[in-house]
Amino acid sequence: MRTIIAIVQAFFIVNICIHQGECEFHFKRHTSKNFKVLGFSWENCGKQDDPAVLKSLDLSPDPISIPGDVTASASGTTTVELAAPLALNLTLEKEVAGFWVKVPCLDELGSCHYPDGCELLDTIFPPGQDCPEPLHTYGIPCHCPFKAGDYSLPQSEFQLPKVDLPYWLTNGNYRVKGVLGSKGQELGCLKVALSLHSD
């Protein structure tokens, strides 16, 4: 998981495991709601020589209803093998009264540092098992290491069920910056922006 696979993979892994009901996130306080994700956008924010780059990421419809259906496609490339440990630094911000406020790391969500994204993948997908669909069909790995090369997920449909949200994840505008690195070197960077509205 390094830019394309640190955040792209991360994004699709979250969607896939939510779809399959295989992810179990526990919060001290949580609410189960129907909500919508609006205005999803993304951009690479890394250096020109970063080895991992996201080329495309398309989601529809807009807004995305959860629970509901989403259609997604993505592609990216990495010029180096992606091997453990892969550090992932996430910065989550929420717009409050016209200002962007950093959300601290709460219950391992928010602006958090993850020493090794590969370990996160292993907790979701036990080593030795086939990667779930549609990753398996398209030859997209779900464990480290990831070979250098191009990765592509053609347009695929996902069914997103109702999920529990942490109590602090309320309606509003959010932006997330993810920086992937290894041995002190930045491998890639991705920014995502979206609005969240619950019913």
Cβ proximity of 111 and 81 under 8 Å: no
- Mean pLDDT value across residues 67-74: 91
* pTM, rounded to two decimals: 0.81
What are the structural domains, with CATH classification, of the chain?
Answer: 3-198 (2.70.220.10)
**pLDDT for residue 105:** 92
Confidence category of residue 7, pLDDT binned at 50, 70, 90: very low
* pLDDT tens string 141-171: 888 999 999 999 999 988 888 877 777 778 9
